[in-house]
Structure 1
Amino acid sequence: MERRGSVYVTRLLPAPIMERLREICDYEVNAEPRPATREELLRGVRGRDAVLCLLNDRIDAEVYDAAGPQCRLFANYGVGYNNIDVPEAHRRGVWITNTPDVLNDATADIAWALLFATARRVAEGDRLMRSETFSWQPEFMLGMDITGRTLGVIGAGRIGRNFARKSRGFDMKVLYAGRRPSPEFEAETGGRFVPMDELLRESDFVSLHVPLTPETRHLIGERELGLMKRTAILINTSRGPVVDEGALVRALESRTIWGAGLDVFENEPDTAPGLSALDNVVMTPHVGSATVETRVNMGLVAVANIAAALEGREPPNLVRA
């Protein structure tokens, strides 16, 4: 009988993913409603041919050692892979894959949801309705206009382009900043490439769409927040540490900026002291890709990567950086 590959899955995933995985290999899964502990992770990867991991699993030399030399692939369930020591994997000849493209719309959509919710004070209004303590008057719950304003997008990759493209329905001027000009971004969005400082000064809404790297950690800090308009709103659906969360709390408290919409946090699931007490921030619990279709498609992409590796083929979504 032909040997089926052995795979460790660090969290239980939606049923269609597990069913597809069952068709191609034998697997063990951490079925607990929480991330695997470090000890469980090290024990689970031992002797496997591949591992399907999540963003809160730290994959480093210790894990590679535990998995053993026969482990060819760590398939990350997500587009970001800052949880993985990619250079060490490359040094060992281990493949790393991610799940690009399938979550572009969902993540861009949650950024827009946060932008609208913050600008029009949706969460604050919901709380007032439930408390039954409000009294309407002409200056009650005034928010910020969206149509016709200036949108600043930091990061011109797939999700940033998708997010900016959706702004056309609101007749917005688009500025973008990144490592270099992007003809694709400009063709799809009509956006104009500018230095980041100019973007921060001119934009009414600033949305972050960059990966977490040493260069982007605390990309937005006290200095950058100070450049923004006092009426500006910051949106972050990328990675929490891209923003200095303590500096953001101070900027929101002092009204250096008008508000923020956040789906990611610097030390998840915890937030910086004082953040949750503020009315001018809307927060969601890292749910950018959390639609039924997207989460299933992410898993099917990860399984396709695993299937290729088990057959000795180069996976289609190989991380090369």
Structure 2
Amino acid sequence: MTTQAPRLIRTTRLLDDVEARIRSEFSAPPPPEAALGTEELLELAHAYQPFAVLVTHTSPLKGADVQALPESVKLVATVSVGLDHLDVPALLARNIAVSNTPDVLTDCNADLAIMLILAASRRAAEYYTLMKAGWGRTLGMGEMLGHRVSGKRLGIVGMGRIGQAVAKRARGFDMSILYHNRRQLDPAEEAGATYFDKLEDMLPHCDILSLHMPGSPSAPPLINAQTLSLLPHGSVLVNAARGSLVDETALKAALKSGQLFAAGLDVFRNEPNPDPALLALPNLFMTPHVGSATVETRTAMGMLALDNVSAMAAGKPLPSGVSA
């Protein structure tokens, strides 16, 4: 425990309220003008000898990078829920604690998933393109028709906090909720949703499929040609979780053939430079990995990261610590 202001560095400028708290409660260098990469992070860490390091996905810490952190570092606090950019076992093995920012992202991520469902189903990308070109003619009765979302069957893969929040919102559209998860929820959490132990058994019943589970670049994609073929013809796929969950070659084929009516993606396999051939498809609605991109949520994420630093410095349990 220390009575001095905890020393920290961050790899990116955080929102104004978070930066104000850093100035008030912590000892830190000025925020970087641009997001730091891993090499720049390590250079700053050795120069400043911080107690804690606040990171995002722009500065991954894996393998040799973990070993290169100075001995002063006792906590790596990522301003994210995802941990793909951190070698958590290696950090813990060095007795460096790890924290993330769960829960505070739930509502905004769920809101975005519903936006993707609506936009993909109602051809928002195509309508926007038409309007930007000047519109110019009346559409025929059967031209550029989308699909109604109300009353459809929504399959959710991953019924954690965000999946349950999506289900809650979808019930406002009178959607039937199906879900596949590592375990069946208790009846109160299910709230009438139908559980499928096997993903393959659920897919034929899904008008819309929404992904809300962790992903790993080293694991085979969950959504591939075989799983896409099990969906009803003309269904909609939404991914606001991780790009690694989807085989994008199979996705392109399904969008071109009509097996998928449309898709809504916030995440991609190669970020921030997705496959141009995928982005060119007219029946894809896309956003640039912005599930948490609201003032309220990004502020809450930064504040939770700082809460973890304060707790660590005071010798208290971390509010959102990560175990191996």
Please report the TM-score for the alignment, with normalisation by the length of structure 1: 0.94
Distance 1:222 1:61 in 2: 33
Preserved CA contact (<8 Å) 2:215 2:244? yes
1:117 is aligned, of 116, 119, 129, to 119
Distance 1:29 1:86 in 2: 27
1:287 is aligned, of 272, 277, 290, to 290
Deviations 1:42-98 (A, max 9, x none): 212222211000123211233332322221111110111111111112212211111
1:45 aligns with 2:45: yes
Runs of 4+ in structure 1 over 4 Å off:
214-217
SS in 2 for 1:28: coil
Distance 2:241 2:127 in 1: 26
Give, as a single letter, the amino acid of the residue that structure 2 aligns with 1:32: E
Shift of 1:30: 5.0
Give, as a single letter, the amino acid of the residue that structure 2 aligns with 1:241: S
Give, as a single letter, the amino acid of the residue that structure 2 aligns with 1:94: I
Deviations 1:88-139 (A, max 9, x none): 1221221111111111010000000011011011221121122124431101
1:210 aligns with 2:216: no
SS in 1 for 2:145: coil
Distance 2:25 2:193 in 1: 44
Pairs aligned (count): 319
Give the equivalent residue in structure 2 for 1:168: 171
Shift of 1:283: 0.3
2:185 is aligned, of 182, 187, 197, to 182
Distance 2:101 2:220 in 1: 22
1:81-120 correspondence to structure 2 within 5 Å: 81-120=83-122
Preserved CA contact (<8 Å) 1:48 1:67? no
Change in CA separation of 1:197 and 1:233 when aligned onto 2, cut-off 3 Å: same
Preserved CA contact (<8 Å) 2:66 2:87? no
Give the equivalent residue in structure 2 for 1:20: 21
1:159 aligns with 2:162: yes
Preserved CA contact (<8 Å) 2:50 2:73? yes
Distance 2:201 2:16 in 1: 47
Indicate the RMSD between aligned Cα atoms, in angstroms. Answer: 1.8
Distance 2:200 2:182 in 1: 13
Change in CA separation of 1:212 and 1:29 when aligned onto 2, cut-off 3 Å: farther
Give the equivalent residue in structure 2 for 1:3: 4
Distance 2:316 2:65 in 1: 23
Shift of 1:223: 1.2
Shift of 1:32: 2.7
Give, as a single letter, the amino acid of the residue that structure 2 aligns with 1:69: E
1:304 aligns with 2:307: yes
Give the equivalent residue in structure 2 for 1:243: 246
Shift of 1:236: 0.5
Unaligned 5+ segments in structure 2 are none
